[in-house]
């Protein structure tokens, strides 16, 4: 299974570190949906994997769909594209997560998102719901030649979940073994 994170967004949303709490909340909860930036001149990805894919599947987010379409256009690809809500980003409300004084909103999310899922915080999507989404994706796309376009926090957790053999508790405990997913990064799971 191949997963790709969407491209960076147009300013000011291209730098998540610089976003205010309100901007990060709006982005995370889909109250806003900024367009993606232009693709970089040199693509930091394995374009061969895209050329070989039979089809592409995007989350419901406009940024994953725009990324897929921009890559198809740049590389002259004609594979069909579909949408799957199972690829949506983990739902969370950044302002409802704990944050230390002076800590940036993104730093707080990076530090507290996965522990909040593990403890059942109402600020985040429930672990059981994430498990169901991930199990469904793994069954549906395990043996198909597709590239799935999604989001960084979700891809990282899915990678840990697969390595933990479907044990969400262990996936959340071991999340630090998996680095943050960069824009346009392609990960094999």
Structural domain boundaries enclosing 95:
2-188
Alpha helix (H) residue ranges in the chain: 21-28, 47-52, 62-75, 105-119, 127-141, 152-163, 168-173
pLDDT at residue 44, rounded to an integer: 67
Contacts of 37 (CB under 8 A, 6+ apart): 7, 8, 9, 10, 14
Angle between helices 152-163 and 127-141 in degrees, nearest 10? 80
108 CB contacts (<8 Å, ≥6 apart)?
94, 97, 98, 99, 100
Cα torsion 109, 161, 50, 28 to 10°: value is -20
Note the Cα 6 to chain centre separation in Å: 7
Number of domains in the chain: 1
DSSP category for residue 124:
B
CATH code at position 62: 3.40.50
d(CA 121, CA 87): 21
Where the chain has pLDDT below 50, the residues are: none
Q: What would the pLDDT profile of 67-82 be if each residue is shown by its tens digit?
A: 999 999 999 999 999 9
Tell me the pLDDT tens digit for each residue of 153-184. Answer: 999 999 999 999 999 999 999 999 999 999 99
């Amino acid at each position: 299974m191949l997963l790709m994170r969407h491209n960076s967004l147009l300013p000011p949303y291209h730098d998540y570190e610089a976003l205010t709490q309100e901007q990060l909340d709006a982005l995370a909860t889909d109250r806003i949906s900024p367009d993606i930036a232009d693709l970089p001149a040199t693509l930091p990805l394995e374009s061969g994997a895209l050329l070989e894919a039979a089809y592409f599947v995007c989350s419901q987010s406009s940024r994953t769909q725009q990324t897929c379409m921009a890559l198809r256009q740049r590389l002259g690809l004609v594979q069909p594209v579909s949408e799957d809500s199972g690829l949506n980003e983990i739902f969370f409300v950044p302002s409802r997560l704990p944050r230390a004084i002076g800590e940036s909103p993104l730093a707080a999310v990076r530090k507290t998102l996965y522990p909040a899922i593990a403890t059942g915080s109402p600020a985040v999507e429930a672990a059981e719901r994430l498990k169901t989404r991930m199990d469904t994706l793994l069954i549906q796309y395990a043996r198909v030649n597709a590239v799935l376009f999604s989001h960084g926090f979700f891809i990282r957790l899915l990678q840990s979940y697969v390595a933990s053999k479907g044990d969400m508790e262990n996936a959340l405990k071991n999340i630090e073994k998996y680095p943050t997913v960069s824009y346009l990064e392609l990960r094999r799971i």
